[in-house]
Amino acid sequence: MADSKGKVVLNIGGGWATDFGPSFTAAPQGNSLTVPFLVTADNVYFELDGGPHKVGGTSKLNSVAQSTIHGFTDFWIQGILGTEVQKRFAYIGTKLMKEDLDGTWDELTSGLEDNKQPCFEIFKDNIFWASTSTVDYPRYWDGSAGSTSLVGGTCPNFSFMVRHKNRMWGAGNPAAPSRLYYCDDLDPQDWVGGGSIDVDPDDGDKITGLVSHKNELLIFKGTHRLSVHRITGSAPAGDDAYARVPFVNGVGAINHNSIFRVNDDLVFASPRGIHSLAATAAYGDYVEAFLSRPILTYYQDELNHTALNTCWGVNYQGKGIALWTMPKAGGSAKNVLLAYDYRFQPGRWARWDSATGHLAANCLAQLQTSAGQHKLFAGTTDGYVHQLDTASRSVAGSGGYTANVVMPFVNMGSSAMLKTAEDGFLSIQPKGDYTITFGWTRDRNAEQTVSLTQTSGDTLG
């Protein structure tokens, strides 16, 4: 006898969105219905067919706990005759430390201010460090000495820096918050032979970030009026002299560590949301310029805006995801990762949340492993650097975590027409001996659930 039941496959057509409402009304077409957003998408990223995939667990890089990991990075020394060497360099507690791919952090310099925001840059086979401290001046390390040294040449006390056109550029001096400095050509130990440029001084904002992008130096100001400026030119004087060109007003970065490159674009966090530079250029100070448009309510109401200037961002290229670690309202700890999957158009949001057991990342970086792979790493306040998204499904030192995906209420057409759901099914690709809870809510009834083990073929009953 013919089956009279109508079968509908629900496909996920979008990511986490707090601003789209709790329900979605549409009629299935050809036994299929694409739901354009999710009410919840915790601790997942997305397969290219749209399905959610639980993000992997973590493993510790160092076995011995240190102080709070404030920031870390890869440091490649090219040397001569192909003798390149990889080190890792970190700002941990009150110290600068290095790691020789052996899992042990070794002290280089101590006595620094704690809990400041660092910046790292590599130039002339040295790694440079600066921070938001008002008393710790920029330092550098050559990869072999047993300590770091202060940058010479009357180096100003900037908080962050970037390489651009054979010079080091720095900003964030608390004594001159709108001043941009540059060193002499190819000499980061000579700032007397360099110069400075004032970028709209005393406009109520300070320089918050720098990035070299498409043959120009971009200067971000914040965190009140907000603006972005461009430095064109290649030399202090001459036919191609440096010039400042305003780019956009009303948009700017919250801090230097929130800005990074994604493909041919820049993305960055501001007090108002998360932005793409290309979209900002197209739309200016409009909501269309916000990558975070689907989650703006969450961004504005559920994050601690007094501590947003401590956020970190990174491009997890191996999975096509841009990540920012943020503090939730009620505290200053960075306990949620906002994940933007830019492989989709438009991009899809998800949330990696310590409230459901995921790692609380104090800082982020992409490091190259000894196998030559670029992997995602995070530093914690309890003194460990973790590799993220590993094959395990547990956070090292704390155990399991939960992935949670919730669809909006789906009317299956007009809500005035009564429908009866008799059977259900769930399509999965098993990843281990784990349990999945499948739940559904009918109208105003209590949620019903059933547990499924990935190693079995149980139906929903």
Residue 71 has pLDDT above 90, yes or no: yes
Q: Residue 287: is its pLDDT beyond 70?
A: no
Lowest mean pLDDT among 41-50, 80-89, 131-140, 162-171: 80-89
Please provide the DSSP assignment of 353-368 as one string.
EGGGT----SEEEEEE
Which of 108, 44, 65, 68 lies closest to 338, judged by CA?
44
pLDDT per position as a tens digit, 232-267: 999 999 999 999 999 999 999 999 999 999 999 999
The three-class DSSP label of residue 157 is coil
Distance CA 96, CA 147 (A): 9
pLDDT value at residue 352: 98
Are 259 and 275 a contacting pair, CB within 8 Å?
no
How many residues can be counted in the chain?
461
Pairing of strands 385-390, 243-249: unpaired
**CB of 424 within 8 A of CB of 440?**
yes
Q: What are the C-alpha distances in Å from 399 to residues 75, 358, 391?
A: 31, 9, 14
pLDDT, tens only, 391-419? 999 999 999 999 999 999 998 888 777 77
Give the Cα separation of 71 and 360 in Å (integer). 14
Cα separation, 389 vs 393, in Å, equals: 9
Classified as helix, coil or strand, 295 is helix
| pLDDT for res 2 | 55
User: What are the boundaries of each domain within the chain?
Assistant: 57-404, 420-461
Give mean pLDDT, residues 5-21. Answer: 91
Architecture of domain 57-404: 7 Propeller (2.130)
What is the separation of C-alpha 319 from the centre of its chain, rounded to a whole number of angstroms? 13
Binned at pLDDT 50, 70 and 90, residue 458 comes out as very low
Q: What is the pLDDT of residues 313-361, one digit of tens each?
A: 999 999 999 999 999 999 999 999 999 999 999 999 999 999 999 999 9
